[in-house]
Amino acid sequence: MLDRIKASLPSLAPAEQRVGRLVLGDPRAFANLPVSELADRAHVSKPTVVRFCRSMGYDGLSDFKLKLAGSVSEGVPFIHRSVDVDDKTSDVLVKVIDNTVAAFLKYRNDASTFAIEKAVDALATTCKTGRRIEFYGVGNSGIVAQDAQHKFFRLGVNTIAYSDGHMQVMSATLLGPGDCVVVISNSGRTRDLMDACDIARKNGATTIVMTASGSPLASAGQIHLAADHPEGYDRYSPMVSRLLHLVIIDVLATAVALRIGPRLQPLLREMKNNLRNKRYA
């Protein structure tokens, strides 16, 4: 959570930056002090403190404080242990699993339920109206986009995934109001994804971006699902990022399935029955 605030500071208004620096300077105190005291310490108005919390993707000051308190008090070791060239297999096993568990716990504490709720609302509305949901990603994120398409396809949604930049741009050009696109990126700096996101948004489609805070893509979409982790993407192949993105997709798919309601259950049962003939007894 603190890493995300630090990364987002340059994109905030000057008054909100002062609130952000107050959080980073003493997060435990911020989680416990009343709004009037926080405003005085940051030399801003009380509405600015609340506005900062919402800019970071939280419902308000209470939601922000709750997540902040959990982040600083649980003592979860959110340190990415890099895999070294001389590591034994046992070392790799421990490091990869520890990194993944730490990233999941960090996301659980940092995740903005407000942003997730907005994304679920947009996706569920698109499902109900029969419009299109598209998933864009390249490289590892392209694999996540395919997984997302598979999960939503099973819900009876009109959906597709593209990992080719030209196809993304062409498809985004055909989107319009009522459609929804989810753009997935670890770095948030891929030019093809930025182009496709801009085109889809200009055409009236709802744009959801799943990427690192403070990245260009984070501010390009209408709804930002922050996927922050301590892993660098310039050494070896990103591992934690892909798994974290898959978890977020699972959260979205599960929440949308609940919104669709009881009518989905017969469809899933019939699908399961039809697949039985594809397996050996």
Q: Give the pLDDT band of residue 228 (cuts 50, 70, 90).
A: confident
Whether the Cβ atoms of residue 243 and residue 100 lie closer than 8 Å to each other:
yes
pLDDT at res. 271: 86
Answer whether residue 263 shows pLDDT above 90. Answer: no
- Tens digit of pLDDT for each residue in 88-97? 888 778 778 8
Residues 137 and 240 in one domain: yes
Answer whether residue 267 shows pLDDT above 90. Answer: no
Q: What is d(CA 153, CA 194) in angstroms, rounded to the nearest whole number?
A: 25
Q: Residue 73 is inside which H or E element, if any?
A: helix 61-73
Which residue, 73, 103, 134, sits at the end of a domain? 73
Residue predicted with more confidence, 265 or 84: 265
Q: What is the mean pLDDT of residues 115-132?
A: 95
Q: What is d(CA 230, CA 107) in angstroms, rounded to the nearest whole number?
A: 11
204: in domain: yes
- Model confidence pTM above 0.85: no
93: in domain: no
Using left for φ > 0, alpha for ψ between -120 and 50, and beta otherwise, residue 209 falls in: beta
Q: What is d(CA 209, CA 194) in angstroms, rounded to the nearest whole number?
A: 10
Domain residues for the domain of 234 are: 113-267
**Residue 162's beta-bridge partner residues?**
136
Whether the Cβ atoms of residue 58 and residue 226 lie closer than 8 Å to each other:
no
For residue 191, the domain's CATH number is 3.40.50.10490
For residue 50, the domain's CATH number is 1.10.10.10
Residues 118 and 230 in one domain: yes
What's the half-sphere exposure (Cβ side, CA atoms, 13 Å) at 113?
9
| Token reading at 89 | 């297999």
94: in domain: no
Which residue, 53, 73, 93, sits at the end of a domain? 73
Residues 6+ apart with CB under 8 A from 166: none
103: in domain: no
**Residue 160's beta-bridge partner residues?**
134
Residues 180 and 47 in one domain: no
**How far is CA 175 from each of CA 11, 42, 199, 214, rounded to the nearest angstrom?**
28, 44, 9, 27
